[in-house]
Amino acid sequence: MTNDTLDTRPGWLDEDTIASVRGQVPIVYVEAVPVRLDHLGRVEKVGLLLRAQPDGTISRAVVSGRVLYNETLRDALWRHCATDLGPEAAPQLPPGVAPFTVAEYFPDPDRSGFHDPRQHAVALGYVVPVAGECAPAQDALDLAWLSPAEATSPTIAAEMSSGHGRLVRRALAHCGQLP
């Protein structure tokens, strides 16, 4: 196959192809913990989405999604924030693309504390200040803005799946605001 016939356009994979790829290689994701900041740059609120899961359960989650082929991390982060939080959210992406953490998701729930039954995934985590009006979109049912203490409470942590409670704690620790 020559470069002239190689399709390099970014895009979604069909269900059969993504299932096959997921069984063979880790998939790269970006995850954003949306926050509202006070005038000194301290986290006042953490935004948590409410989502229906494939198994029929409902859980809280952060913004998350795959990085597409030929898409920059910054573009993927922007796309997922705009998609999940709505077009008027006005996310303020960090100036650098270095994440505050890297989370490895495994099909085995005991392997890392981050779990995805479909695949092995590597997720780059970002804290993203949000200044605009949010309207949850895509498969999000709701968006709740919680104080750092509420977002890390055992009650809310129990409502989060896949290790997102651990990710929120890491985000707040990174910001120096873990209650």
pLDDT digits (tens, 9 = 90+) for 10-19: 566 788 888 7
Structure tokens at 137: 């979109």
The pLDDT value recorded for residue 6 is 46
CATH class assigned to 25-174? alpha beta
Give residue limits of the domains in the chain: 25-174
Neighbouring residues of 110: CB distance < 8 A, sequence distance ≥ 6: none
Give percent helix, percent strand, percent coil of the chain, each to the nearest 5.
25, 30, 45
Which tens digit of pLDDT belongs to each residue from 44-79? 999 999 998 777 889 999 999 999 989 999 999 999
Q: From CA 26, how far away is CA 10, in angstroms rounded?
A: 18
Structure tokens at 111: 């392997």
The pLDDT value recorded for residue 57 is 86
pTM above 0.85, yes or no: yes
The pLDDT value recorded for residue 11 is 60
